[in-house]
Amino acid sequence: MPFGNTHNNFKLNFKTEEEFPDLSKHNNHMAKLLTPELYGKLRDRQTPSGFTLDDVIQTGVDNPGHPFIMTVGCVAGDEESYEVFKELFDPIISDRHGGYKATDKHKTDMNFENLKGGDDLDPAYVLSSRVRTGRSIKGYSLPPHTSRGERRAIERLSVEALAPLEGEFKGKYYPLKSMTDAEQDALINDHFLFDKPVSPLLTCAGMARDWPDGRGIWHNDDKTFLVWVNEEDHLRVISMQQGGNMREVFRRFCVGLTKIEEVFKNHNHGFMWNEHLGYVLTCPSNLGTGLRGGVHVKLPKLSVHAKFEEILTRLRLQKRGTGGVDTASVGGVFDISNADRLGSSEVAQVQMVVDGVKLMVEMEKKLEKGEAIDSMIPSQK
């Protein structure tokens, strides 16, 4: 229950113009689309669990953004947020997800066998492969809004769902608040441990409240399948391994998620999903597949080529530094992943990564030999 907003009815005593936030210096999707008229229309609504318009937009009001990077500027507090405030969310979703319309349907395809190739990315260049997504558990509010009781119930249910997994998915849960020093060191060395969010984009939305209560990390014994509980979403699911076998990473991802979903369904708490928005997550940017499939790949020559950005755009890929979002690349190694989330399936998005990275590695090899790559530059996908 974020701040200042549970007394929404009291707030209605003040006029719209008096309450409307000052967004004159802001650059995020919410600020671009929220007008005083729209604010006036939506401000007396609330979702069944009491999430209000001000709750939705607080993070975007508090974080004006950056001239170059367009953040989303709003979050959902529960599944119903996307319905109750659709007049705001629909245009934001359209803006963020390449014109996705309120009437469009999203395709979900978690059948890894539909992926072509992906097992032969050159490990001399592709250092590691990873696929992540998020899942929200039906019947609970989302991290910006959960009470401590709800968050703990989400944790309990998640631990129960993960406990019976066997074979390659046999693993263990580490609650953040009772981790031993030895466990903590091990998780840091494996690059598994997530920290309390410090980004004001997240803290202003209220999702870091009560840290570290109800938060934890589960991973399988092989350390190739990992679940974060109650960080930015109810669950973040990650499949990863060294080297370039993205096909195997995606197989494990699909199989693992399907098994977990079964267990949640048996507890009458399936995942939040609908045919318009796909999987429902806290941030509108993660709707649809919520999937980011990517590799750490060495592209020292290609990355300084004049057409690098153009190539990425045409392949529908994005680059990040090897520390993740908002970090710089180190030693010519980039994190390359799909740019799309909503409007195409999991298989399609991972296919784009597999095909695109394969092409870029070939371009890198050509540049190493001093050859031109102009004929290889793809058309817009």
Partner 1 sequence: MATAFTRMLSGRNTAVILASLGAGTLASGYLLTDTTAAADMRRAYPPSADFPDLRKHNNCMSAALTPAIYSQLRDKVTPNNWTVDQCIQTGVDNAGHPFIKTVGMVAGDEESYEVFAELFDPVIKDRHNGYDPKTMKHPTDLDASKISSGMFDEKYVLSSRVRTGRSIRGLCLPPACTRSERREVERVAVAALAGLKGDLTGRYYSLAELTEQEQQQLIDEHFLFDKPVSPLLTSSGMARDWPDARGIWHNNDKNFLIWINEEDHTRVISMEKGGNMKRVFERFCMGLQQVEQLIKERGWEFMWNERLGYILTCPSNLGTGLRAGVHVRLPLLSKDQRFSKILGNLRLQKRGTGGVDTAATGDTFDISNNDRLGKSEVELVQLVIDGVNYLIECEKKLENGQDIQVPSPIDQFQK
Q: Which residues bind partner 1 (CB under 8 A)?
A: 1-4, 6-11, 14-15, 18-22, 46-51, 58, 61-62, 139, 141, 147-150, 152-153, 177, 203-204, 208-211, 213, 267-269
CB of 24 to partner 1, least distance (A): 9
CB of 115 to partner 1, least distance (A): 36
By C-beta, is 157 or 333 nearer to partner 1?
Answer: 157
Q: Is the torsion defined by CA of 276, 279, 285, 291 positive or negative?
A: negative
By C-beta, is 195 or 310 nearer to partner 1?
Answer: 195
CB of 50 to partner 1, least distance (A): 3
Distance, CA of 137 to CA of 8 (rounded, Å): 26
Q: How far apart are the first and last CA of the chain?
A: 42
Distance, CA of 3 to CA of 265 (rounded, Å): 33
CB 318 within 8 Å of CB 267:
no
CB of 261 to partner 1, least distance (A): 17
By C-beta, is 83 or 104 nearer to partner 1?
Answer: 83
* Whole-Å CA distances, 2 to 142, 148, 149, 157, 204: 12, 12, 15, 24, 9
By C-beta, is 60 or 256 nearer to partner 1?
Answer: 60
Angle between helices 53-62 and 86-96 (to 10 degrees): 40
Q: Phi and psi (nearest 5°) for 182?
A: -60, -45
By C-beta, is 150 or 232 nearer to partner 1?
Answer: 150
CB 47 within 8 Å of CB 8:
no
CB of 172 to partner 1, least distance (A): 21
By C-beta, is 207 or 342 nearer to partner 1?
Answer: 207
CB of 35 to partner 1, least distance (A): 16
CB of 150 to partner 1, least distance (A): 7
By C-beta, is 62 or 104 nearer to partner 1?
Answer: 62
Residues 6+ apart with CB under 8 A from 134: 232, 233, 234, 235, 236, 237, 279, 281, 282, 286, 290
